[in-house]
Amino acid sequence: MRILLFGTGDYYRKYRDWFRREDILGLVDNDENKRGTLVDGYKVYLPQEAVQLSFDCVVILSVHEEGMRRQLLELGVPDDTIYIFSELYKHPELIMPERAVCLWGGDRLLSGILSGGHAGAVLLMSHNLDLNGAALAMFYLARILAKNGFSVFFASWTDGALRQYLYEENIPVVIDPNLQMRTQREVKWTHRFRRIICNTLNYYLFLADRSPENQTIWWLHDPVMFYRSLDQELLHRIKPENLAVYAVSPIAEGAFKTYFPDFEVRQLVYGIPDVPLQKKIHYKMELIVIGNVQEYKGQDILVRALEMLDDEILSRIHVKVVGFRSTAYADGVKRSAEKLGDVISFIPPVDREGVHRLLDESDVLICPSRVDTMSIVTNEGMQHGLPCIVSDAAGVSAYIKNGENGFIVRRGDASALAERIAWCVEHRKDLEQIGKASRMVYEQYFTMEVFEKNVLKVIREVL
């Protein structure tokens, strides 16, 4: 089998290990800067070059699959040789068979998962152990359950930095790559659990065929754009019996309701632990944006806004964009920002301690997202007493009173964002009171105490 993988970003990293190395003919990317380079030892081709090779199929590994499919068709690639990531479960000939399961248990024996019963335990399922908002929210939920006497197990497709956090809490972890490509009925060890909480839309395949006796909660954090590239027939196999659906915000609920109008959906907003604050004062105003540099996060909108500011305002600010990893979009944003010089800095992803240190060093947090169901870093900004400028497409905007405890700008409106940044610079003394009001939003809605109360209510009602 000679396979071309179209995409070298997040979805490539998510699915690459399912393919046999000897089957991968090369990688395909529209980024001229990646042409001829090696990624994981595979050569990267532009699409027009790749289609000249002798291949059996192209697998699209990107959320932008519609446009990429059109591009391949226009280049003469037969439609029946083009697959997308959400179809891989249908094509066992393309991927490796069942993969090994890893168990991590601290001082607790995990081998019983595969042979004994854990009907009384709660199985929490995340698609990764990265330090992203959704995975962290699930970790905080696990801590609440463990604190309240529940036996808790944590499962993930892939390993990551969050495993160390779970180890320190003495919460056992199962790393099972098969969760990404198999239904619940097919992943036999999960049958030992009668109470399951699945985190994010990523578990739609797992839930498409599940044991009816399981009591399951599906906790959704996902915007509507993530539903569009999924296998719709498979998505609608999910049945409501013994399935309670919760969303972190009205935006996440609305996305789900677009595809499942008859399902009942309730709200469950996460909480985040409080931290000691060590505020630092700067001559220049420090603005910060935190999150993977991706199109839906809108960092390009921020750069356009900065370009609209006059030199006098620019001389009084410094902007940190935290979460930079090289992708076609991220590299383009960085190139666009070059004319701003040292006004803007791009920083790779940092751990949680790094996030809090950077927030202590900041004066204003910006969330310019085109869509963001409930940004955990914005809530952390409120926790640190920062005035937050958010787009009206961000779920947290529901908690903001414009000009009182934060600021709301129209989604995608770079001019409105520029005006708000300039106002903050010119009214710096007023930001202290707005920051205090921002902190009160955190205390009212996003503390661990509020989250614990809500989680235990859900557990009593559902599980």
- What pLDDT is attached to residue 119? 56
Model confidence pLDDT, tens digit, residues 223-242: 999 998 888 999 999 999 99
Over residues 178-187, the mean pLDDT reads 93
Determine which of 69-73, 74-78, 154-158, 273-277 has the lowest per-residue pLDDT on average. 273-277
Q: Reply yes or no on whether the pLDDT at 202 is more than 60.
A: yes
What's the pLDDT score for residue 97? 83
What crossing angle do the helices spanning 414-426 and 299-308 adopt, rounded to 10°?
60
151 in Cβ contact with 170 (< 8 Å): no
Q: What percent of the chain has pLDDT over 70?
A: 97
State the Cα–Cα distance between residues 9 and 339, nearest whole angstrom.
26
Residue ranges of E strands in 210-336: 215-220, 243-247, 265-267, 285-290, 317-322
Does the pLDDT value for residue 116 go beyond 80?
no
Among the listed ranges 109-113, 173-177, 458-462, which one has the minimum average pLDDT value?
109-113
| Rounded-to-integer distance, Cα 418 and Cα 328, Å | 25
Residue 40 sits at the vertex; the CA angle it makes with 37 and 42, to the nearest 5 degrees, is: 55
Bigger pLDDT: 102 vs 427: 427
Question: What is the overall mean pLDDT for the chain?
Answer: 92
Mean pLDDT on 199-211 = 94
316: CB partners within 8 A, 6+ apart: 284, 285, 425
**By C-alpha distance, which of 415, 72, 131, 79 is closest to 292?**
131
Quick check: 391 pLDDT over 60? yes
Residue 415 bridge partners (DSSP): none
Structure tokens belonging to residue 25: 């003919």
CB within 8 Å of 220: residues ≥ 6 apart: 200, 201, 245, 246, 247, 248, 252, 253, 255, 256, 265
CA distance 84 to 66: 10
Binned at pLDDT 50, 70 and 90, residue 192 comes out as confident
SS3 203: helix
Whole-number pLDDT of residue 111:
56
Report pLDDT digits (tens) over 279-316: 777 789 999 999 999 999 999 999 999 999 999 999 99
Residues 6+ apart with CB under 8 A from 201: 220, 221, 222, 226, 227, 230
Q: What is the CA radius of gyration of the chain?
A: 23
Amino acid type, 103: L
Confidence of residue 327 (pLDDT cuts 50, 70, 90): confident
